[in-house]
Amino acid sequence: MSDRQEDRIRELEERIYCLEDIIQHVSEGVILTDQDCRITVFNPAKEKMEQMKAEDVLNKVSWEVYSHSNREISEHQQVLDTGVPILDAYRPHAYVGEAPVYIYYSTYPVMRDGKVLGVYSISRNESTLRELLYETLEHKRSLHVEDEEERAGRSLAKGTKFTFEDFVGCSPQIKQVIKDAQTIAGLDASILITGETGTGKEVLAQSIHNFGRGNKRFVAVNCAAIPDTLMESTMFGSVKGAFTGAVDSQGLLRAAEDGTLFLDEINSMSVAMQAKLLRALQERCVRPVGSMDEYPIQCRLICASNESAGTLLRDKLMRQDLFYRISDFILAIPPLRERKQDILELAEQLIRQYNREFHKNVTHMSEQLREYLLNSAWRGNIRELERVLRSLMLRVSEVEEELDVQADIGSLLGYEKAAAQGEASYLATTDLQETLRQIQMEIITHRLKENNGNISKTARDLGLQRQNLSQRIKRLELGDPL
C-alpha cells in the first residue's frame, strides 16, 4: 500500500472519529438504521430522551424496538422503502410509567447514487420545546385570560355550558392541566384527554373549545353509546336509501364545521371503525354512506378516553396510527383521590350551585363532613362527589346553614364507613398496578357470576364493548370465572 493510500485511510479514520464524537455529544437525539432497518447508532441524547440504553437496542430492527404491530408502521422502514423524508413529526416514542414522552423529530434517507444506504432521525425532547412554546404563547394566553370575565357574560358556543371557571381545582396537577389546555386551545392541534370516569373530561373539552374557538360549533358524541352498525353513518353521514331507514345526513365530522368535534370514550370504537376514521382524518374529507361524493372536513378533534395513553397502546385498545393522529397533545386528568386538596374546593362550589338550584342557605360544612369527604376513596371521582352532596343538600331545610354528615352517608357513598376505611388501606398498597389488577378481577368476576358467564350482558353492565371486556379477561388471566 502506498504512502498516499495510507494517508487517505488515516484521513478517513480521523474524519469518522470526529463525526462519531460529534454525534455522541450533540444535544439532539440521533438514531441511524442500515438497509435492514437495524439500529447502528443510538447516541446518549437519544438514550436520555427515550429511556433506553444503546446496548439494548443496537443491532435490533427499529420496528421491534418501538413495538410497532408491523414493520410498515415504522417510519424508518417507510423512508427506507420510499426514499422520502418525514419532516417535523411530533410523536410519543417512549413512556415513563403511563406518561408519554413526546419527541419532535425529522427522519431522512442516506442517499448515494440514487440508492438508500440507511435512514437517520434527529430529535429534540418535548420538554425543551414546551418551554419555547410557553415563552411565545404565554403572553397570548394571559391576555386571553384577562378577557375571560368579559366573555363569561356572553352566550357560550352552541352545545356547550362550561368554561375553565367550571374546571375547579387548586392542586398543582390541575393548575398544570389548565395551563397546558389554555396554551393549546387556540392551536389547530388534535387533543386527547385521558382520565377515569367522572374526572371532568367533557368539562375540560368544552372549556378548551370556548377558550379558543368559542364562536364556533361544538359537537359532542359518546362513542360507547352508538351501536357499531350506526357509527359510520353517524360520523360520516348517509344518503337516503343507503340502508334501511337511512336519511340524508351530513354526519358529525361535517356538522362540526370549523368548530370542534368531541369524541368521548373513543377507545370503545371498533377497530374497523378506527381505520375508517383514520382515513377521514388523514385525507381531511368524508364520503357519506351510500354516496360516491367526498366532502372536506375542517373541524378540530378533541377525543377522550377513560384509559391512559399507555394502556391504549399496550393493550391494543386503539390502533397505533390512529392514536398518533388524534394525540398531538395529551392532557391527563388525575383522579380525585390523587388530588385531595381539590375536594373541599369542589365541594364548596357544588354547595353554592345547589343553594341556587334548591333555594337553600348552606354557608359551610361541618368538620365531620369535611373529614369524611377528605378520607373517602371517590371511586366515581367528581361525579360521585356531586351525587353525595346533591343528596345531602336535598335533606337540609331552607334555614340550615351548616351541611353535616347524615346517618346513612355510607350508603350514599356506596359503601359503609368501615368498608371505605378498608378500601383506603387497600389502595395504599405500594404495588399500585397489582392493586388495580385485583380490583378489576374482583369486579369482572362478580359481574360474570351474576350474569352466569354471559360476556355480552356483563360488558353492557360495566359500560364496556364486548371486545374490550374479552381482552381484559384474557389479560387478567381469569380463565373460567364460574
Same domain, 41 and 118: yes
Whether residue 133 is contained in a domain is answered as no
Label each residue of 358-388 as H, E or C.
Answer: HCCCCCEECHHHHHHHHHCCCCCHHHHHHHH
**Domain housing 353:** 337-427
Distance CA 207, CA 22 (A): 46
- Number of domains the chain contains: 4
Label each residue of 410-438 as H, E or C.
Answer: HHHCCCCHHHHHHHHHHHCCCCHHHHHHH
Dihedral sign, CA of 159, 164, 170, 176?
positive
Q: What is the DSSP string of 257-308?
A: TTSEEEEETGGGS-HHHHHHHHHHHHHTEE--BT-S--EE---EEEEEESS-
Same domain, 224 and 312: yes
Same domain, 397 and 419: yes
> If you average pLDDT over every residue of the chain, what do you get?
83
Whether residue 136 is contained in a domain is answered as no
Same domain, 353 and 450: no
pLDDT at 417: 42
From 133-142, 347-356, 443-452, the region with the lowest mean pLDDT:
133-142
**Which of the two residues, 414 and 105, has the higher pLDDT score?**
105
Same domain, 305 and 436: no
The answer to whether the beta carbons of residues 200 and 333 sit under 8 Å apart is: yes
**Which of the two residues, 306 and 461, has the higher pLDDT score?**
306
Look at residue 186 and tell me whether its pLDDT is greater than 60: yes
Task: Give the end-to-end CA distance of the chain in Å, rounded to a whole number.
Answer: 80
To which residue does cell 370465572 refer?
A: 481
CB atoms inside a 10 Å sphere around CB 13: 10
Q: What is the CATH number of the domain that holds 464?
A: 1.10.10
Look at residue 431 and tell me whether its pLDDT is greater than 70: no
Distance CA 284, CA 286 (A): 7
Look at residue 430 and tell me whether its pLDDT is greater than 70: no
Same domain, 326 and 341: no
Q: Please tell me the pTM assigned to this model.
A: 0.61
pLDDT at 93: 67
From 35-39, 129-133, 227-231, the region with the lowest mean pLDDT:
129-133
CA-wise closest residue to 330 among 67, 92, 73: 92
To which residue does cell 399496550 refer?
A: 314
pLDDT at 420: 43
For residue 212, CA distances in Å to 2, 130, 132, 386, 466 come to: 70, 19, 20, 28, 37
Q: What is the CATH number of the domain that holds 76?
A: 3.30.450.20
CA atoms within a 13 Å half-sphere pointing along the CA-CB vector of 28: 13
Share of the chain above pLDDT 70, in %: 83
Same domain, 420 and 436: no
Share of the chain above pLDDT 90, in %: 44
Rounded to an integer, the average pLDDT of 214-224 is 90
Same domain, 422 and 443: no
Whether residue 276 is contained in a domain is answered as yes
Q: What is the CATH number of the domain that holds 399?
A: 1.10.8.60
Q: How far does CA 43 lie from the centroid of its chain?
A: 30
Q: What is the DSSP string of 67-131?
A: T-SSGGG-HHHHHHHH---EEEEEEEEEEETTEEEEEEEEEEEEEETTEEEEEEEEEEEHHHHHH
Distance CA 195, CA 62 (A): 31
Rounded to an integer, the average pLDDT of 271-284 is 93
Find the length of the chain.
Answer: 482
pLDDT at 426: 44
Whether residue 140 is contained in a domain is answered as no
Same domain, 262 and 403: no
Same domain, 344 and 328: no
Whether residue 137 is contained in a domain is answered as no
Distance CA 76, CA 106 (A): 11
Q: Domain ends where: 334, 358, 383?
A: 334
Whether residue 132 is contained in a domain is answered as no
Q: Domain ends where: 334, 357, 375?
A: 334
Rounded to an integer, the average pLDDT of 7-33 is 88
Q: Where residue 104 falls among pLDDT bands split at 50, 70, 90? A: confident
Q: Domain ends where: 268, 302, 334?
A: 334
Amino acid identity of residue 322, one-letter, is: L
Task: Return all residues near 208 (Cβ < 8 A) that are at least 6 apart.
Answer: 181, 182, 184, 185, 191, 260, 302
Same domain, 190 and 160: yes
The answer to whether the beta carbons of residues 174 and 342 sit under 8 Å apart is: yes
For residue 278, CA distances in Å to 20, 42, 109, 251, 269 come to: 40, 31, 26, 16, 12
Same domain, 200 and 226: yes
Q: Where residue 424 falls among pLDDT bands split at 50, 70, 90? A: very low
pLDDT at 160: 85
